[in-house]
Copies of this chain bind each other. A is one copy, B any other.
Amino acid sequence: MPLSDASRSKLTAVSTATITTVLFKRGFRNVFISGVGLINPKAPRMVGPAYTMRYIPSREDLDTLSVFEDRSHPQRKGVEECPAGAVFVIDSRRDPKAASAGGILVTRLWKRGCAGIVTDGGFRDTPDIAELPFPVYHAAPAAPTNLIRHHAVDLNVPIGCGDVPVYPGDIIVGDREGVAVIPQHLADEIAEEAFEQTVFEDFVQEQVEAGRSIFGIYPPSPEAKEEFARWRAAKGR
């Protein structure tokens, strides 16, 4: 069930804050990846299905620089196989003491048309990565190679990232606040409801900036609902 263009478009126009509220209405409390931030000041919004990689702790005899000569090494294979439009999401066990990936691999994902990359660990070459027009989220800069702490073991299995469950195909949305995870089967309805909620909050924000009290409009009274309907019609939204 690929993400529809309509839903992708709506999700690009809403905030992770609004998405988490809409998911909370359906009982989801743990959908915002904690402890990660955006590296790239000029990156576009990130929206796409999750393609995942799992790290376990490294072992001195297995994790040497020679492993990268094997094209089936999951980190390298994943970077070449993550579909265009997808978000590469990495379970690094919240450990930013070694890199989940570096500038060359991130550049490759960007050039391959992926939608972004997220780790609950850290990336290396972050001064260069920060210049890319590509959304990259991590916990902290991590110069050392992944081999010092991480062993890539699986591609596209369910993982935890920042204490949030991520299943392959879940819709990952990132803005300047952080990263939200939408269960795949709910993507369309969340996109729709979050979009509607955003229009309403834009109305409220405009009113509050004009000096109005939050009482009566946030949440809205029946009168405020009518007022919003008129505002919306007038704005053509």
Contacts and interface: CB of A to CB of B under 8 A. Distances in A.
Interface residues of A, number: 83
Interface stretch (A5-13, A29-37, A224-232): A29-37
A60 interface: yes
A145 B21 CA distance: 6
Contacts of A21: 65, 144-145
Contact of A104 (B141, B177, B180, B214): B214
A127 B158 contact: no
Interface of A: 15-17, 19-21, 24-32, 34-35, 37, 56-61, 65, 68-69, 71, 76, 79-80, 93, 95-97, 99, 102-105, 107-108, 111, 124-128, 140-145, 147-148, 151, 153-154, 157-160, 163-165, 175-178, 180, 183, 201, 204-205, 208-209, 211, 213-215, 218-219
